[in-house]
Amino acid sequence: MPSFGPGDLTGILPPMVTPFNEGDESISEDALRQDITYMIDVGKVHGIVVGGSTGEGHTLTTDELRTLVGITVDEVGRRIPVV
């Protein structure tokens, strides 16, 4: 399994938005996974930044942030760094 360090944080590292479900405003796991796959496969990004201000991280509960990061790490599958 690859591991990533500070020297690996180069290139394109887009801040991801956090997609929410309409109605209950929970994190949309399906939409998040789609966005991540698109960024990696089409956008050719070198890393993903999740849960920052663009991703509404400041408005999420600790549990929601853990869920967001967990889904992201699972979907990325160690292909690129997650920040």
Domain-embedded: residue 33: yes
Q: What is the pLDDT of residues 24-75, one digit of tens each?
A: 999 999 999 999 999 999 989 999 999 988 888 899 999 999 999 999 999 9
Boundaries of domain holding 14: 6-76
Domain-embedded: residue 36: yes
Domain-embedded: residue 81: no
Please give the single-letter amino acid code of residue 25. E
- Count of domains for the chain: 1
Query: What's the pTM value of the predicted model, to 2 decimals?
Result: 0.87
**Are 48 and 80 a contacting pair, CB within 8 Å?**
yes
**Are 26 and 65 a contacting pair, CB within 8 Å?**
no
Residues 18, 68: Cα–Cα separation, whole Å: 8
